[in-house]
Structure 1
């Protein structure tokens, strides 16, 4: 168009193109100005919040110092001889690990603990709501500043997660809607194994699956944010098991965290993805379980795994986040060892600088670098792989396998045949006998209104309650050793509840240099909020750590050859490892002050770190039993009695003592690192010196704690072994249509973190079930009735 023609079109009317363009430009400038004003206002709000947080933190520190002085005054009094010198007497939280000689000092410290918790919670939630309003303002600027936040949709989604409370969003049994009381499969427990089994069975659109979960949803911040997992312990999302007093471990009663929410322990654990040495599974097969060699198990490990290659381009659907700190030398892996098509995401995520220095110090101490703990060898040092999504959120098994489209009828790809019922407390298995054949037929449970109901299985009942839940339900249903009082006996299996094995850990805590970043520095109000913002906006920062970052797997002859030789000479050495590639100890670096599962607070907000030695092949075995109790209705019920029998074999305590010595050798190297440092604050070398083996063993008995890996209480093996409970296809011996599918079937504890092995077991079980029913000529499905007909 010529200039003359363009000028002729400018008549100043409403249809003038030039005027319209100018008006649009003016409007755009006005929007930018308003946006900038909003940004300025948001910044002012943020500054005000920071000032408020700093003021609150100063007040907290002043109060802390004042109360600690009062507490310290009481400590100077003579301590009673029966006090535990390493732990507070069964407290859920404490400020410092000191002897309490006066009840007044103890009360003052307890009061301070409550004060700190109240202040922290009030600051967090108050500031959180303000943060959401700031994010709401920022969202309106996404067009002007698209890089200001990573994803508006994600912010909205995570904001909903942060505001969620476990008691909301329940999906309990609905009498008006839940008229179906016959399902093909009933899965007891929507935990790590139950989520996998239910999802895999539902791949067949011709079947329906019911999952009875005693807890509720896992859509809670403490589960979604990896760095907050220990805050779930001893809440309603935890079964809150405790051991009986441990006769060989200071007569202590120890907590046993178990997940009571969808996803089970995969929703509350430390997210370490580790399979263990191949020889451990070959040993399972050698114990009379054909088909369970590592070669046959490996495809099932890979089947569930969706490994994220950290070297993929940033825009790749499975690639890593671009705005996290990278440690390429510590992101090594064996591509042949991993699966990439499974729904369970495995990756490398946040890593503290401290962890990289820990790996270097371990190498300097003679420990070989391991390219991939899930590759050819388990031994060596490296960072651990984790089941965390690329957006920084925990990849629990419920999140991976029980997605919303799978649990709603009519979901995608013909699936959605899984019905998940929350608040369903299973009480007993229902049995019947046909032609003298015992078989499981259903489940009796209490719904969320405490109404007793029954549901029936036309194919199988699948117990996925874990090492405590599955034997408890069997025993409560009359399946186990000799008849118990008040429980009608149905079937004798002496091994139910026996063979309990667990990994025991012993920790040493160190004070780092101030420049060394650790989690304790993030406990201050302002830093805590900053970490929350980073987690919400970009899925980065300290809250995306699963805390156990740097890891060593070692054998005793590699770190204490003289001690091993002496033990063998004395005839006291006990070899429990499955082979020369199976570790005796795992050493884990925890970048923070970690005592009693994170329930004991550090004395201040300075830098601390903890290193823990885990006993991988315990010689001490325990039991899980039940004791009768009366429920709310006055009916006879049972409760679990956990007795791991920790350190009953003195060799276990001596091995942990060697672990402490090895930890100190590594930290002495860290102490010479100008960026780290390492002054031992607990237990202290003056109190427990390296040269005093008796003091080290005593420390082990007074301070060791569970590391959440109980297994073996429904042992897998041939029927010729009277202590086995299930066969190699996980069928309960002597009872048709009943299987146990979880960590309780492991005949021997693997030298690994048990979540990945449990998922492998579930994947195998799902195929066993499909194979058995595809070739079976079993009874036809029972005609569906209504729930009203099944009510007691």
Structure 2
């Protein structure tokens, strides 16, 4: 089969690219997705908990054991269905700070400053939570909502944060990110707003768009230095699709470098050792991996009826289901971490550098994912937003079915360790502020006995997980370790681009789904402009 464009991966960015390219009926577009078309739990926000360990819709990757994880393998869930990770994530909508994108531009990526990407952020969203029209989009495909802090717990935390100098910010995606707020979310009328729902559903009936699910990309096809198509497996057979214009790889931070390496693009010595023919030497493929390494502090709440541990177990869960059915609210319609704070680790900083997020319950492992604990309490994760530590992702076999090796190299930068400890201490300051006293709060983890920086770091190494924000493994730039240029074209290869979170040179300040969707919008615009 021949197409004008092939998009590999129907996730947060790939679904956007496919929608925008196929909007012109003259463009024949093929969208390949390894996972299924749909899954019932993706529609209900609380379904995230049912998908976090489900291999039907989740790649279920894990990192290699490392000293800074106490030899643990860290779970790395990634969406494997239409909508990708936007179909199973926690749904928090965070653009990041202006300085994130200005930094990208200062690194040599012309056209990626905040002023340049703001129109694409506005284009993608339909936001009805007020705010300034200079910053917010009103009629884009993606519904974004801003819940009110109705629950007593959230009101108490906002007051407690104010007592330690962290002000309430009604729109952290507006003029400034500073402060504490309820989490803006890709949820509307109690339903998840994934890119499958918001970008692919409206495009499904286009005769020029073919969406093929259960299609696992195995290698890119070339004629000389030009990419001319994709080899993939579907329905138990090998297939090939050819392209007249471009292939856009949107597999995400793990699968995109994997596909490039399987296709012979990467570090020659590494590829040759696995019997992969070297097509083009690009040493940066798979390097520059970054993620948020986030310890979860845990707090017992003595006052009953405050957390979901009290209000969503037993008959309480029935009441929550009824509430959701009638209003779309409550636990079943909630964003993963309903409240977050963007704070500064010290005075004199130009912008926040730490993120704290609150989940009004404690959970424990269950047979189908996390389940609500009997212990009444609260989880608060805390971490640096722009870590300096960098790891890598590389294939370990020429077999496309073998997962790549993920090495995060967390806390290898001294500043990351310092800021992680500071984030934990700020979480403690808020949770023990006077406003929290009526809730009868007591610390469970790391525990009051962990007082020194070294003790806190030891706890972090044994307990922290990521917040599922891997980026950077096909870095955008003009230096020798860059994989794509500022137009997202793979260096040295014609007809091939990468468009997903893997192109981020650095982590954005917060969750990465919104920036990934923006990358999809901007990539499609660049492709259409030639």
TM-score tier, shorter chain, comes to over 0.9
Measure the CA separation in 2 of the matches of 1:672 and 1:201: 51
> Closer, same or farther in 2 for the Cα pair 1:707/1:672, shift >3 Å?
closer
Q: Does 1:252 align with 2:72?
A: yes
Question: Which string of whole-angstrom CA distances, capped at 9 and with x for unpartnered residues, describes residues 142-199 of structure 1?
Answer: xxxxxxxxxxxxxxxxxxxxxxxxxxxxxxxxxxxxxxx1111111011000110000
- The CA deviation at 1:217 is 2.4
CA distance in structure 2 between the partners assigned to 1:600 and 1:739 by the alignment: 37
Distance between the aligned counterparts of 1:370 and 1:630, measured in 2? 49
Deviation string 1:188-219 (CA, Å, 9 cap, x unpaired) is 01100011000011110111211110011234
Distance 1:596 1:658 in 2: 28
Q: Does 1:458 align with 2:235?
A: no
Measured against aligned partners, the alpha-carbon deviations of 1:84-140 in whole angstroms (never above 9, x if no partner) come to xxxxxxxxxxxxxxxxxxxxxxxxxxxxxxxxxxxxxxxxxxxxxxxxxxxxxxxxx
Distance 1:346-1:630 versus aligned 2 partners, 3 A rule = closer
User: What secondary structure is seen at the aligned counterpart in 1 of 2:121?
Assistant: helix
Aligned partner of 1:229 among 48, 65, 69: 48
Q: Quick check: 1:664 aligned with 2:428?
A: yes
Alpha-carbon distance in 1 for matches of 2:528, 2:488: 13
Q: Distance in 2 between matches of 1:334 and 1:468?
A: 36
Distance apart, 1:541 and its partner CA: 2.3
For structure 2, the residue ranges without an aligned partner over 5 or more in a row are none
1:707-760 Cα distance to aligned partner (Å, 9 max, x none): 011111001011xx1100111110001111100000000111111211111111
Retained in 1: the 8 A contact 2:363–2:373? no
1:162-241 matches, cutoff 5 A: 181-221=1-41, 223-235=42-54, 236-241=56-61
| Counterpart among 371, 374, 379 of residue 173 in structure 2 | 374
**Range moving further from structure 2, 741-750 or 538-547:** 538-547
Over aligned residue pairs, what C-alpha RMSD do you find? 2.0
1:537–1:642 distance in 2 versus 1, CA, 3 Å:
same
Counterpart CA distance in 2 for 1:734 and 1:594 is 48
SS at match of 2:243: strand
Deviates more, 1:281-290 or 1:536-545: 536-545
1:537-585 deviation line (CA, Å, top 9, x unaligned): 4322221111312211111114xx9xxxxxxxxxxxxxxxxxx433221
Query: More helix by proportion, 1 or 2?
Result: 1
Segments of structure 1 that go 5 or more residues without pairing to the other structure are 1-180, 310-331, 410-415, 562-579, 632-636, 773-792
Q: Does 1:770 align with 2:525?
A: no
CA distance in 1, matches of 2:399, 2:226: 28
Q: Which residue number corresponds to residue 529 of structure 1?
A: 318
Assess, with a 3 A threshold, how the Cα gap between structure 1 residues 243 and 552 changes in structure 2: closer, same or farther: same
- State the 1:378 CA deviation: 1.1
* Within-5 A mapping of 1:242-391: 242-309=62-129, 333-349=131-147, 351=149, 352-389=151-188, 391=189
Pick aligned residue for 2:205 from 385, 408, 416: 408
Q: Using the alignment, how far apart are the partners of 1:215 and 1:749 within structure 2?
A: 27
Cα distance in 2 for residues equivalent to 1:700 and 1:229: 24
Offset at 1:229?
Answer: 1.0
Q: Give the Cα separation in 2 of the matches to 1:277 and 1:547.
A: 21
Q: Is the 8 A contact 1:500 1:712 kept in 2?
A: yes
**Larger CA deviation: 478-487 vs 184-193:** 478-487
CA distance in 2, matches of 1:375, 1:216: 36
Q: Distance in 2 between matches of 1:491 and 1:192?
A: 28
1:349/1:388 contact within 8 Å kept: no
CA contact (8 A) 1:187 1:211 kept: yes
SS at match of 1:197: helix
Number of aligned pairs? 524
Alignment partner, residue 760 of structure 1:
518
Instruction: Report the CA distance shift for 1:350/1:368 in structure 2 as closer, same or farther (over 3 A).
Output: closer
SS of residue matched to 2:20: helix
Shift of 1:642: 0.6
The answer (yes or no) to whether the contact 2:4–2:244 under 8 Å persists in 1 is yes
Shift of 1:649: 2.3
CA contact (8 A) 2:125 2:140 kept: yes
Structural mapping, 1:596-615, within 5 Å? 599=369, 601=371, 603-604=373-374, 606-615=375-384
Secondary structure of the equivalent of 2:286?
Answer: coil
| Whole-angstrom CA distance in 2 between matches of 1:630 and 1:769 | 31
Q: Which has the larger Rg?
A: 1
Give yes or no for contact 1:218–1:261 (8 Å, CA) kept in 2: yes
Higher relative contact order (CA 8 A, sep 6+): 2
The corresponding residue for 1:588 is: 357
Distance in 1, Cα, partners of 2:165 & 2:442:
22
Partner residue of 2:256? 470
Query: Could you say which residue in structure 2 is the equivalent of 1:681?
Result: 444
- Distance across 1 between alignment mates of 2:471 and 2:399: 28
1:737 aligns with 2:528: no
Question: For residues 250 and 220 of structure 1, what CA distance do their matches in structure 2 show?
Answer: 36
The answer to whether structure 1 residue 548 and structure 2 residue 337 are counterparts is: yes
Q: CA deviation at 1:280?
A: 1.1
Contact 1:358 1:670 (8 Å CA) reproduced? no
Measured in 2, the distance between the counterparts of 1:704 and 1:653 equals 12
**Scaled by the length of structure 2, what TM-score is found?**
0.95
8 A contact 2:61–2:403 mirrored in 1: no
The 3-state SS of whatever aligns with 2:357 is: strand
Supply the distance in 2 between the matched residues of 1:295 and 1:600 (Cα, whole angstroms). 40
Structure 2 contact 275–398 (Cα < 8 Å) conserved: no
Q: Structure 1 residues 382 and 212, CA, compared in 2 at 3 Å: closer, same or farther? A: same
1:392 matched to which residue of 2? 190
CA contact (8 A) 1:427 1:444 kept: yes
Structure 1 residues 596, 362: closer, same or farther in 2, change over 3 A? farther
Distance 2:23 2:329 in 1: 34
Q: 2:218 aligns with which of 427, 431, 436?
A: 427
